[in-house]
A and B are shown apart, each in its own frame.
Chain A
């Protein structure tokens, strides 16, 4: 069965410090991987994706994510957090064998304190 795990319900970090939001997945083959962000009372917004190529992908607002095939992980990172980064972050996978399916993790709330 396909699954996406975000092991941390909440991540707290001080402004200016680096942040990491973790994601691991269990999907057959090499899926497409995504990160979405959700601000209060808003829909999900696309941040970045990995399809193939360089394991480090860069996205919007200074975020990047590192794909690790052996660990089946796709952790979201940012070198220096901003208070405005505080939001809910979702990891998602899209299996190659079922191109129209997106599976989402349960979400991680990021709190960036001044």
Chain B
């Protein structure tokens, strides 16, 4: 996961509370992705940024999820208010330094909503 930093690694909250996750992708890359990985499922794209603009947020539950990438570098994903079904690992990714064909993922932020 070298090159994509995420925090916190683990978070436990109660439903209706809010939470924020932070990602710092591979330095200099314009594209950043947030994925949601529910236990037993593959990663599902939540939002894609190109620099500080949103390219695709069609699967982001916008009534409760928001994300920003203010300076085109690091990004924050927020959930407010959280629901039980938001329990998942939130993965940040960006294309690796070899080119745009391969994604490099962070270690993820595991959210448990009680």
Which residues on A are within 8 Å of B, measured CB to CB? 4, 32, 34, 36, 41-46, 49, 51, 90, 94, 99-102, 104-107
Contact = CB atoms under 8 A, between A and B. Distances in A.
Interface string B77-113: 0000000000000010100100011111111101000
B107 A41 contact: yes
Contact of A44 (B56, B105, B110): B105
B40 interface: yes
Pairs A-B, 10 closest by C-beta atoms: A43-B105, A104-B42, A44-B105, A43-B1, A43-B107, A106-B42, A104-B43, A46-B102, A43-B108, A43-B106
A1 B108 CA distance: 28
A29 B56 CA distance: 21
Interface residues of B, number: 27
B67 interface: no
B114 interface: no
Contact of B41 (A51, A94, A106): A106
